[in-house]
């Protein structure tokens, strides 16, 4: 028999009661609560501290939890937003048929979201939730629709007036389109107003932030539609008219008719045998 003390040293030490694994690697979770500081600032400090540690071989530290998941979701949302913005720009260009005018309207569209951003800042302290994102998408859709409706009205009135581009036509078309724009903003605002006033209940966690953003965005969207879009069309719409006129002026030159040229075609003499009715050749 071999005694244990001759081949090993035994002692009582503290160890993990539960061993967690990620695939085949052991892991240990370190949790903490944040009080009195911004969670984003604390997460940045923790991430910087982990980067300074000289970890042993096959050891590493990762920042996980709700904040890390939020960062990953924001990256995915940013990628989707870029793709959606590109699609909106191409649709604008296809409708207005002018790269300059489409670019001007596209650049001005974010101003329609200013009201929604201020509403989020006042109501939720600037905290962006999933409902707020849906509200921003809705406001952007309303702004695009209003802008395209006004541009379509300008083009239609110009065609009725013989294709002339004048500031008076833009003013008249804006006045005619202001009534539908105001009615759309008013009815939409009245529909979302109850969610803002009485939406702080269980089950409406997404609807209330969305309604707040929509109400705030409707104000700036209306201003953009009635002030910004007419000004942009007055600046860049005439360039579109010049492009159309230039395209109409460019015509294929007519091919002149061929002049009558006398041709002398030599005909070789040929002998034909003709049988008469009597049978003589």
126-157: pLDDT as tens digits? 677 788 888 898 998 899 988 888 888 888 88
Residue 99 lies in a domain: yes
* CB-based contact 180:218 (threshold 8 Å): no
Which bin fits 260, alpha (ψ -120 to 50), beta or left (φ > 0)? beta
Residue 169 lies in a domain: yes
- The span from the CA of 212 to the CA of 197, in Å, is 10
- The span from the CA of 39 to the CA of 233, in Å, is 45
| Bridge partner list, 215 | none
Residue 280 lies in a domain: no
More confident residue, 167 or 190: 190
As for how many domains the chain has, the answer is: 1
Q: Tens digit of pLDDT for each residue in 174-184?
A: 888 888 888 98
Residue 71 lies in a domain: yes
The answer to pTM > 0.75 is: no
What pLDDT, on a 0 to 100 scale, did the predictor assign at position 239? Answer: 53
Domain that holds residue 205: 67-248
The CA-atom distances, in angstroms, between 147 and each of 24, 101, 139, 161 are 57, 11, 12, 21
Closest to 149 measured CA to CA, from 96, 103, 195: 96
Looking up residue 156, the CATH number of its domain turns out to be 1.20.1640.10
Residue 20 lies in a domain: no
């Amino acid at each position: 028999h071999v005694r244990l003390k001759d081949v090993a040293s035994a002692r009582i030490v503290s160890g993990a009661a539960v061993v967690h694994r990620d695939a085949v690697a052991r892991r240990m979770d370190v949790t903490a609560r944040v009080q009195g500081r911004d969670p984003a600032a604390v997460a940045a400090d923790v991430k910087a501290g982990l980067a300074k540690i000289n970890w042993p071989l096959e050891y590493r530290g990762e920042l996980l939890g709700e904040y890390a998941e939020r960062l990953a979701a924001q990256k995915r949302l940013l990628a989707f937003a870029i793709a959606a913005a590109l699609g909106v720009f191409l649709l604008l260009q296809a409708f207005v048929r002018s790269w300059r005018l489409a670019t001007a309207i596209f650049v001005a569209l974010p101003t329609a979201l200013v009201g929604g951003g201020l509403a989020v800042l006042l109501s939720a302290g600037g905290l962006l939730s999933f409902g707020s994102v849906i509200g921003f998408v809705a406001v952007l859709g309303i702004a695009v629709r209003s802008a395209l409706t006004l541009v379509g009205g300008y083009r239609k009135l110009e065609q009725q007036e013989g294709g002339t581009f004048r500031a008076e036509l833009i003013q008249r078309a804006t006045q005619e389109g202001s009534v539908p724009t105001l009615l759309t903003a008013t009815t939409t605002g009245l529909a979302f107003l109850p969610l803002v006033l009485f939406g702080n209940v269980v089950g409406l966690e997404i609807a209330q932030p969305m309604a707040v953003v929509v109400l705030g965005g409707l104000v700036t969207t209306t201003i953009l539609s009635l002030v910004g879009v007419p000004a942009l069309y007055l600046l860049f719409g005439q360039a579109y008219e010049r492009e159309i006129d230039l395209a109409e002026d460019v015509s294929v030159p007519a091919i002149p008719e061929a002049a009558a040229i006398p041709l002398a075609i030599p005909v070789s003499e040929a002998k034909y045998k003709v049988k008469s009715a009597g049978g003589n050749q």
